[in-house]
Chains A and B, each alone.
With several copies, the nearest count.
Chain A
Amino acid sequence: KRDAFMQAFNAVNTHFQSIFAELSDGDGHLALEDPENPFAAGLTLIAHPRGKKVRRLESMSGGEKSLTALSFIFALQRYRPSPFYAFDEVDMFLDGSNVERLARMLRHEADHAQFLVVSLRRPMIERSDRVIGVTLARAGHSQVLGVQLQQVEAVASQAS
C-alpha cells in the first residue's frame, strides 16, 4: 500500500515540477508532511513563482494559487488520464499573459484528452479548436450555437 502510494506520489511530483515550471516560470514540487509515514499526515505544495522566495501557500496571490492548483490537476491527469475534462472559468484570476500560457498548455494537453472549458477570456477563445456559444433565447431558455471559425473573432471581441 505504501509502495503503491509512493510510486503514484513520485510520478505526480515529477509531472508537477515540469508543468509548474512551464505554467508559471518558477519552480515547485510536492512534499509529504511525514515522508516516513505518508498516511499519518498530509501533502503540501511548495511553489515559488518566478524568482520569489518560498512562501506559505496561503499567502500567494489569487493568480499564483490558480496556476499552482492547475499544475497539480494537470500532473494528476498525466499520471492517470481521464477521457474528458470540464473546467468552468478556471482563468478568472489570471492576468492576460497567464491566460495565454494556460491556453497554450490546454491546446497541448488537448492532443491527449478532451477539454471542455467555459471561459470569457479572449486568449482562450483564440487558441481553442472551436467555440460553443450559449445565449438566452427570447422564450427564456438557453440556446446553444455552434460558432463557425469566422464568428470566433466576433465572440472573442465580445470577451475581454
Chain B
Amino acid sequence: MHLKCLEIERFKSFGPYTRIPLLEGFTVVSGPNGSGKSNIIDALLFALGLSTSRGMRAEKLSDLIHQGVTHGEASVTATFHLDEGGDLAVCRRLRVNGNNSTSTYYLDGAVCTLSDLHERLGTHHIYPEGYNVVLQGDVTGIITMPSRERREIIDELA
C-alpha cells in the first residue's frame, strides 16, 4: 500500500485545485521558506483525520481555508493504492460559515464518521498517534517526552 495522489482544494496556502501525484520509494519535498512544504503534510493529516488544530498552527478552523476566509470551503483527498489491487480514496471537506464549521469525511466517495475512518485506517496500520509522521521541529520530541509516554508507544504496538 502506498499514497499515490494528494488533491488539495483551498487548504491553507493552496489555491482552488492542486494535484500532487506521489510514487513509492524516497521522495524529497524541497523549496524556499514559506512556500508550502509543511502545509502539504498538514493537508495529509487533515484528510486522514489524524490532526488536531494545534498541530495545524491554526487557532480556529477558518484559518485552514485559503486566505482565512470565514465563508468558504476547503477539501483534501488522499488516494492510496492497495497491495491487493484497487484504490482507497479518503477525503475530508471543511465548510465554514461565520462561526459555524462542519467537517465531512468520505471513504471512497461515501460519507463516513471519523471513527469509521480511523477503524479503516487502523487495518492498514495508520494510527492517529503513530510515529510515522514527524512534524517540523518535533524530531527530538521522543527524547524530551516523559518516559511513561515513551513506554506507551510500545503498549500500542503490542
Q: Which residues of A contact B (CB under 8 A)?
A: 1, 4-5, 7-9, 12, 32-33, 38-39, 41-45, 49, 52-53, 55-70, 72-73, 76-77, 79-90, 92-95, 97-98, 106-107, 110-111, 113-120, 124-125, 127-137, 139-144, 146, 155, 159
Contacts and interface: CB of A to CB of B under 8 A. Distances in A.
Contact of A62 (B1, B2, B14, B33): B33
B133 A62 contact: no
Contacts, number: 255
A110 to B, nearest CB: 4
B125 A80 contact: yes
Interface of B: 1-3, 12-15, 18, 20-41, 44, 57-59, 63, 66-68, 80, 124-126, 130-144, 146-151, 153-155, 157-158
Q: Point out which of A52, A65, A93, A133 has the most chain B C-beta atoms below 10 A from its C-beta.
A: A65
Chain A interface mostly: mixed
B37 A134 contact: yes
A139 to B, nearest CB: 7
